[in-house]
Amino acid sequence: MKHTMRARTGRMLGAGVAVATTVLLAGCSTSGPTSSAGGGGDGDYTVAMVTPESTGEFYGAMYCGAQDAAEEQGVTLKIQGTPGTSVEEEMQVLQSVLATDPDGMLLTVWDNTAFNSTMSSFTGAGKPLVMPDSFLSNDAYLQSIRTDSYQSSYDAALQAVEDFGVAAGKVLIVTDAPGNAIQTARAEGFRDAIQEQTGLGVLEFQYVGGDSAKASQAVSSALAANPDLSLVFSTNIGAGTGTANGVRTAGRGDVVHIGYDTSSSQVQELRGGDYDALVAQSPYTMGFDSMTLVSQILKGETEADSITEQTTFSPWKLVTGDNVDSDEAAPYLYTTDCG
C-alpha cells in the first residue's frame, strides 16, 4: 500500500485570533464551574462541550475556537471537563451535563466505545452531537472533526527519516493503550510508513498511556536492549516527556525523537533538543468548526441530513527546530490565550 502526502484544507487560525470571552474552564473531576460564551440568539440555544484534560493547552486552544464560534453564531456555549483522561471521571461529568438537557453537544473522549450507550438517549432524540478530535465506535454522531491521525503520522515518519537522515537501525513507538483508537492510529501510521517505505526495523509498541515515568522506563529498557535504536516516536505529551528523559538519561543524543502535539512545554523542549520534530494539530480549528456546525444545525441554517461526510480532517504540520519560530508554524503552537 502506497501513501502520499495529502493536501490539508480547513479554516486556519491566524496568529492573533480575537475571542470575546476569555474565561477558560477550571479543571474538575465532577460537575463544577463551567465556561460560557455566546449569547441568547435565534431560539436561545445552549450547546454543552465536554472534554478530558480541561487544563491542557490542546483543549484550551479548542475551547478558544469553540468560544469564538459561539460568539459569532449567537449561541450559548457551556464547557465542562475533567483534568485527566479516565473514563470514570469523564463519565461522571458527562452524565451531569446530559441532565441539564442541552440543545446540542460537542464531545471529546479518549475511549471510543465506553460512551456509546451513555449518548444513545441524546442522539436518539435527534439532538446534534459533533465530536472534535474524537468519535464513537458506533458512529452515532453527526460529524467528527479531527486530525487524520494515521496519515499525519505516516507522512511525518517519512519526512523525519528524510530530514534527519535516519538510514539504519531500529524504530520504537511509545503510545497509549489499544482502547484509544486515535492514539493507535498514530502509532500504526508511523509503523506502517517505516515498514513499507524504509529499511528500518520496528520494535513492538510500548503501551504507557500518558505516564511519563512508564515511558521513560520503556525507552531506557529499549535503548539498553537495542544499541542500534535510532528513532523514537511518542504519540502523546506524557509519553513524549518520558521518552525525552529516557533518551537523555542514556546519553543517546544520536537518537531522533519525533513527538505529537505542540504544547508550550513541548515547544520549549523542541528548542532545547529533547525533540527533533513535533506533529502539530489544529485544535482551534476543531473547536471553531465543530461549534459552527452544531449552531447552524440548531438554527436551521444547515440540515443534519445534508452532512454527507461523517469525518472531516483539519490541517497539521511537522514543526522542527528550524521552522518553530516562523509565521507558518505559529498557528500550530497551542495556547490557552484566547486574546
Instruction: Give 319: exposed, middle or buried? Use CB within 10 Å, 0-12, 13-18, 19+.
Output: buried
Name the grid cell of 34: 463551567
User: How many CA atoms are closer than 13 Å to the CA of 122, on its beta-carbon side?
Assistant: 27
CA distances from 289 to 64, 79, 213, 218 (A): 11, 16, 36, 38
Query: Would you state the pLDDT for residue 179?
Result: 79
Cβ neighbours around 99 below 10 Å, total: 9
> CA–CA separation, 194 vs 171, rounded Å?
8
* Tens digit of each residue's pLDDT, the chain (339 residues): 333 332 223 333 332 222 323 233 333 333 333 556 655 445 699 999 999 989 889 999 999 999 999 999 999 999 999 988 899 999 999 999 999 999 999 999 989 899 999 999 999 999 999 999 999 999 999 999 999 999 999 999 999 999 999 999 999 999 998 878 899 999 999 999 999 999 999 999 999 998 999 999 999 999 999 999 999 999 999 999 999 999 999 999 999 999 999 999 999 999 999 999 999 999 999 999 999 999 999 999 999 999 999 999 999 999 999 999 999 999 999 988 887
Cβ neighbours around 36 below 10 Å, total: 14
What angle is formed at CA 149 by the lines to CA 145 and CA 150, rounded to 5 degrees?
Answer: 130
Query: Would you state the pLDDT for residue 23?
Result: 32
Answer whether 0.95 is exceeded by the pTM. no
Query: Which of 277, 208, 210, 274 minimizes the C-alpha distance to 238?
Result: 210
Query: Would you state the pLDDT for residue 11?
Result: 30
Q: Where are the alpha helices (DSSP H) in 23-133?
A: 57-73, 87-98, 120-124
Q: 241 near 212, Cβ under 8 Å?
A: yes
